[in-house]
Amino acid sequence: MSDTVVMATAALKEVQATFDRIDPGVADDLASELAKVRRIVCCGLGREGLMIRAFCMRLMHLGFDTHMAGDVTAPPIGDGDLLLLSSGPGDLLLTNAMIQLARRAGSRVIVVTAQPDAPDPQLADMIIHIPAQTMADDMGSQSVLPMGTGYEIALLVFLDLVAVRLRELTGQTMDQLRAKHYNLE
C-alpha cells in the first residue's frame, strides 16, 4: 500500500470518528431551523469560511435567500433572519463581533463549532457541535490531518447532508436545483 493510501485511510477514519460522535438528529434540527427563516447570512473565516461559502451556494440552489457576510451584495440582516456562523475553535474576535452585530440587528444566530463551551457558541440561539480537532486543540496531536482540517472536512460533509435534508423538506428535485446552478462557466 502506498503512503497516500495509508494517509487517506487514516484521514477518513478520523472524519468517521467525528461523525460517530455527532448527535444523529442534528442535521434535521438545523434543516428545520433554516427552513423557517426569511434570509440566511453565512459567515466563517479562513478555510472554514470556504466550507460555509460552499453551503451558502447550495442554499441558493435550494431557492433560499442566502448571502455571505461581508460580500458587497449582502443585504442587511434583521428580525426573521438568521446568521449561520462557523467558529471551529469557538473563540475568535471577528466571529464574536459578527454574532453581536447580528444579535443587535434582531437576527437569530446558529454557531457551528468544535468547542461548544467556548465564548462564540455561548452567544448563539442554537449550537451545532461537530466534535473534531481544530487549531484550538491540535498541539501534540497524532492526527494525519493538519491543524483544523478534520473539522473543515466534517463541516463540509455535514452541511451537504443538511442540504440533502432541506431538499427533501422542500420537495425539490435535483433538476430544480440544477436549474438554479450558475451558467456562465
Query: Domain range holding 121?
Result: 3-178
Q: Does some domain include residue 150?
A: yes
Could you tell me where the beta strands, DSSP code E, fall in 37-178? Answer: 39-43, 66-68, 81-86, 108-113, 126-129
pLDDT confidence tier of residue 48, bands split at 50, 70 and 90? very high
CATH code of the domain containing 42: 3.40.50.10490
Domain total in the chain: 1
Overall size of the chain counted in residues: 185
Within 22-148, residue ranges assigned H as helices are 26-35, 46-61, 93-104, 119-122
pLDDT confidence tier of residue 31, bands split at 50, 70 and 90? very high
Cell of 173: 428535485
pLDDT confidence tier of residue 172, bands split at 50, 70 and 90? very high
Range name among 46-50, 58-62, 103-107, 140-144 with the lowest pLDDT average: 140-144
**Rounded to whole angstroms, how far apart are CA atoms 108 and 35?**
13
Average pLDDT over residues 43-55: 95
Q: Does some domain include residue 183?
A: no
Q: Does some domain include residue 29?
A: yes
Tell me which residues are annotated as active site.
Answer: 152
The residue behind cell 437569530 is 108
Q: Does some domain include residue 90?
A: yes
**Rounded to whole angstroms, how far apart are CA atoms 163 and 51?**
13
